Structure 1
Amino acid sequence: MKRLIATTALLGTLATGAFAQDLTPMTDAEREVFRAEVQAYLFDNPEVIMQAVEILQQRDAQAQAQADVDLVTANAAAIFDDGYSWVGGNPDGDIVLVEFLDYRCGYCKRAHGEVAQLLESDGDIKLIVKELPILGDASVLASRFAVAVKQVAGGDSYKAIGDALMSFQGEITLPSLRRLGSTFGLDMDAVEARMNSDEVTAEIAATRELAGILAISGTPTFVMHDELLRGYLPLDQMQALVADKRG
């Protein structure tokens, strides 16, 4: 019984990560007995393994969250004030939400409506949009088009085109983008001339570089104040996070 209690205590210590004892002073026979008792206990109480795994997962999540906070803090200027990303919502809002997006990403399309509802229901949120085309050449083409529209025609046209691209269901090609731009009365000659310019290339490249620094591997990814939110979030979760950030 004493050995069982000791083994249980040892497993609890292992699960909490506090075990640092050197077992080398044991004799070979003692180590063999010890291993057998541990094995027998685990067979009889397999839930202990799951508890230890759960604790490890919690620690990993906490470590990742802190690492993300550190990344956001270290790269705050590039995230929140790069000088070129489109700003929507309330520019003076007390909550800043940054979205990295790809127009061909299904979850980005889904999140687009949720973010719009969030801004409509809360007038104190500033939205910053960052172009991160990661789903192939068509995604890059769409982003080049959107950024060119912003640079040539301004933020209102960029917002309209961004909304249209998020709801667009067809194949993204230069002819389809021409037709889309024409429906908004854009000067497509000027937009097309800008699409492959150094200015557009530099903006997309800078966002790609930032995404690499932040270890962003998918879209949508959000930043809310000091927190990285990796992946799609439904409206109720975003609202809860906003409330939490406001305290």
Structure 2
Amino acid sequence: MTMIRFAAPAVTALALLAAQAQASDLRAMSDEDRAAFRNEVREYLMEHPEVILEAVNALEQRQADAAAKADVDMVAANHEAIFNDGYSWVGGNPDGDITLVEFMDYRCGYCRKAVPEITELLQKDGNIRLIVKEFPILGEASVASSRFAIATRLVAGPKAYGQVHDALMEMQGDVSNVVLSRLAEGLGLDADAILTKMNSEEVDEELSKNHMLAQRLKISGTPTFVLQDEMLRGYLPAAQMARIVAEKRKDG
């Protein structure tokens, strides 16, 4: 973690100014004394403008630390729904010591960009459990794609889901029942059964649960990852995710 430290002269000068202000309540000062104090502060800042940047950096670091702490708390409060919901597809190494959860949308360009990065991470590491959360937020085509993927898992099992998931990530053009039917048939799946299942209560419930979970985690975009106790909002290259994984293992 990066720590922000003020330059010693800046700290000393500001401390003296603060002490002076505390010793003399500004509200009890005369107009002349108050104006003199303000001028002294202004003159110091004009001579040392870097103090303002240091203060901004300190504020940004404080806000980032608070946001990270809030994310950790949200993950802890929703642990079972994130990591053990009983329905989300599990890939990678199901017995891995590190779990990576992805909230994704098939029509999201950055989700598609992340596919080879995640694949590389899983292949090089070999001890990461991957959980995919269907989170369609980019329109009707996104919803139809997720419904089709979930229905495939319900009808044909997790292996078929994995095949459909990869195919949908590469699909170009409009998503229609005709296109989805051809996709299913091309993979040797029962297209009619999957299309019928798409609008079932089971699929509705799964999507609803994922959206409610995303709301609790304050997720508004894709991809969003949960890596152990940490939330990673947005696309990350494999090398960066690998470094975070290594830190998680080290922290143990």
Q: TM-score, normalised by structure 1?
A: 0.91
> Pairwise mapping of residues 157-176 of structure 1 onto structure 2 (< 5 A)?
157-176=160-179
Match of 1:16 in 2: none
Match of 2:126 in 1: 123
Q: TM-score, normalised by structure 2?
A: 0.89
> Pairwise mapping of residues 98-177 of structure 1 onto structure 2 (< 5 A)?
98-177=101-180
Gapped regions of structure 1 (runs ≥ 5):
14-18
Report the alpha carbon displacement of residue 6 of structure 1 after superposing the two structures with TM. Answer: 9.4
Question: Does structure 2 conserve the Cα–Cα contact (< 8 Å) formed by 1:115 and 1:235?
Answer: yes
Evaluate the alpha carbon distance shift between residue 179 and residue 12 of structure 1 in structure 2; reply closer, same or farther with a 3 A threshold.
farther
Question: Does structure 1 conserve the Cα–Cα contact (< 8 Å) formed by 2:10 and 2:51?
Answer: no
Match of 1:8 in 2: 13
Question: Does structure 1 conserve the Cα–Cα contact (< 8 Å) formed by 2:152 and 2:194?
Answer: yes
Report the alpha carbon displacement of residue 212 of structure 1 after superposing the two structures with TM. Answer: 0.2
For 1:246, what is the secondary structure of its paired residue?
helix
Gapped regions of structure 2 (runs ≥ 5):
1-8
Match of 1:186 in 2: 189
Could you tell me how far apart the structure 2 residues matched to 1:145 and 1:246 are? 36
Report the alpha carbon displacement of residue 7 of structure 1 after superposing the two structures with TM. Answer: 8.6
> Pairwise mapping of residues 215-230 of structure 1 onto structure 2 (< 5 A)?
215-230=218-233
Aligned-pair identity in percent equals 56
CA RMSD of aligned residues (A): 2.2
1:241 to 217, 223, 244: 244
Question: Does structure 2 conserve the Cα–Cα contact (< 8 Å) formed by 1:7 and 1:38?
Answer: no
Matched pairs, number: 240
Once superposed, which parts of structure 1, at least 4 consecutive aligned residues long, lie more than 6 Å away? 4-7
Report the AA paired with residue 96 of structure 2: G
Could you tell me how far apart the structure 2 residues matched to 1:8 and 1:173 are? 68
Question: Does structure 1 conserve the Cα–Cα contact (< 8 Å) formed by 2:181 and 2:192?
Answer: no
